[in-house]
Copies of this chain bind each other. A is one copy, B any other.
Amino acid sequence: MNRRGLVAAGAAGAALAAPRLAAAQQPVMWRCPGSFPKSTDVLWGVQEIIARRVAELTGGAFQIRIFAAGEIVPALQVLDAVGAGTVECGYTAAYYYIGKDPSLGFGTVMPFGMNARQHLAWIHQGGGRELMEEVYRDQGVVTIPCSNTGAQMGGWLRKEVRSVEDLKGLKFRIAGLAGTVLTKLGVIAQQLGAADIYPALERGVVDGAEWVGPHDDEKLGLNRVAPYYYYPGWWEPCSQGEIMVNTRAWEALPKAYQQALEVACAESQVWSTSRYDMLNVAALRRMVGAGTQLRGYPRDVLQACYKATQDTYAEMGERNPRFRRVHAGWDRFRRDTQAWFRVAEDSSANFLALVERG
């Protein structure tokens, strides 16, 4: 091996190293509550990966103590705690907080929105970060994308949904904006925490329920209390998780530690989606093998949901200029990008489906 370059660079390298090492000696300990229980092992794993990498990259000087949902902060109050400075950072999904500002939903996913890759392209390269900065700033946080589940499933149903008519009066566990959309179609949308979904579906308190996808749904046992597993989860074509950092804590953090946190989040971004992509395959096979019936939502149902979604966006935009502005940028990027994906990405996938589906 040629080491001439190394020898020549010794002096310069050491000189460059000095200022940063001084910063690296400053110990910092942060707390990071998450919105997810340890049983959603991939999402819990995201917190573990980030905390471990940040410590490694800073020689153990920047320590992040991680907590599962409810340990020190309730699952759906992570943004509140971070924004108020009760904790320095947290791991959550912005769409849990659309009650504070509906534009927060664009940080995670929106109904009939973008897939995981398209969402990242929007955030990192398509103006998304710039549009969302103001939204997050008002909450007192800076955010770093760090995980994605990929497209989610359309939920479990005790009876088949054959037409738009079947939605009327359907009691369905679903969170967030999609509940508002489905209400337009006669669905009785219900919010239930993870632990309450199984018993509610088993006892018929709800007729159906959505959670995440095969891997997480199997863990809740939903396949044992409903026979029909629907797709697609049009309300979550991806689900982007973020590390949210209190703005003042971020500004006080040494630059080298900011960088360590940023790259650790990029790593968990790649890891989480790969992990879900692998685990979902096996879980779906097991459930289908044990009797689960896969069903696609009928086209007329999807069309009605699509229309109700666009109506909802329009109504929200009329009431809320910020929502209208963020939606406009998001929707333009989405349409352009999806048109491009149809050319090179989707045409490949659809040809393979044709020739290999058998």
Contacts and interface: CB of A to CB of B under 8 A. Distances in A.
Given A17-B25, A28-B6, A277-B121, A349 B342 contact: yes
A338 interface: yes
Interface in A330-356: 335-356
Interface string A113-146: 0011110110111100000000000000000000
A273 B117 contact: yes
Interface stretch (A59-67, A90-98, A174-182, A196-204): A59-67
A163 interface: no
A302 B347 CA distance: 11
Interface hub of A6, A23, A27, A58 (most chain B Cβ within 10 A): A27
Interface stretch (A184-192, A227-235, A312-320): A227-235
A324 interface: no
Interface of A is mostly: helix
A161 B353 CA distance: 23
Contact of A59 (B20, B153, B264, B341): B20
Sorted from nearest, which 9 A-B pairs have the closest CB atoms?
A13-B27, A16-B60, A20-B59, A9-B29, A1-B85, A121-B277, A125-B278, A263-B263, A151-B344
Chain A interface size, as a band, is 35 or more
B248 A1 contact: yes
Given A60-B16, A338-B349, A344 B153 contact: yes
A270 B120 contact: yes
Given A27-B13, A27-B14, A351 B232 contact: yes
Interface stretch (A100-108, A165-173, A254-262): A254-262
A50 B75 CA distance: 36
B60 A17 contact: yes
Given A115-B349, A351-B302, A352-B112, A8 B29 contact: yes
A12 to B, nearest CB: 8
A207 interface: no
A13 B60 contact: yes
A29 B57 contact: no
A296 interface: yes
A352 B337 CA distance: 12
Contact of A348 (B15, B28, B232, B279): B232
12 contacts: A8-B29, A12-B63, A24-B24, A115-B349, A117-B117, A121-B274, A232-B348, A237-B345, A269-B270, A284-B343, A299-B351, A341-B349
A5 interface: yes
Given A21-B21, A342-B353, A347 B231 contact: yes
Contacts of A259: 53, 56-57
Contacts of A335: 356
A267 interface: yes
Contacts of A299: 351, 354
Nearest to A145: B270
Contacts of A232: 343-345, 347-348, 351
B231 A115 contact: no
A223 interface: no
Contacts of A214: 340
A328 interface: no
A258 to B, nearest CB: 10
Nearest to A7: B29
